[in-house]
Structure 1
């Protein structure tokens, strides 16, 4: 069975990032148009997951046990959706190579797409892209440049369009595979009929 897609918004710039998940929940119809859903988590869950991934619990005044397993819980709840999912945090942009590897390993049940969102010409953007591209197939690293003052809803509409195009490409591939399988079965049927005559 094919894995579902996961679209992970990593920033470094996400407008109103502290409201991202709440806005995603309100945009259910928009997400449904691309067969997308969100994990059953809160904005606070995503915050703790980012703190865990980046190992910044001390800087945030937390103990490791306060955030331990947070990212795994988010991923488990995403997997329960049994559909393509969208979630993220601008803090994920700060992950180093080892932290990205752990994050992607936790998401191994998905075909993970990283969506980098940044203002045009943001410093360090090339390094961020290269870092993720070194750990994912290039076709699964997407960069959306933001215009100054672009609202979160506009960004989400572009991410949803990306998910819709990805879904269409998947369906096209399935159609091609089914046609090949049908041709092979038709050949087998013809062989059987010829042998019977």
Structure 2
């Protein structure tokens, strides 16, 4: 954009002259009606589609970390009923992994391949908890489910309306179910 020195407030954009009103200090102002507005997110202000894919990948990292963590817990679970419940939760997280990967691809993104630093941290916590017994291991798993619930709630602001509805109807209810089951397991083990 270059300022034409002949007339105040005269600006050339793409070789088409356009006169804009000057503001109080004599600088031409630009109205949003002349600029294509890109929808942005409530929290970060990033463009919606980019932010939606990034947020879905953040949720995917969490789900991948959950699958890895439940795999570790299953290695040390000796009680048949406890192992069955842990498999049920792991499988729910596994289904969400597949759903998120499909959704990210559908939106033109590339799903992350690993849980990243968060997964490494959760694996470390789970290994330590497993050494201390079922009660400690289940407390760590239940805390992980709490983190998952908060992650879903936090990422909602970064999603476009369609994807937000998808997350609220397809993924968040499953996260709530695994959270509740994990909490029930912890209560069961504490009572035993």
TM-score (norm 1): 0.24
Higher helix share: 2
Higher strand share: 1
**Larger RCO (CA within 8 A; separation ≥ 6):** 1
TM-score (norm 2): 0.25
Q: Which has the greater radius of gyration?
A: 2
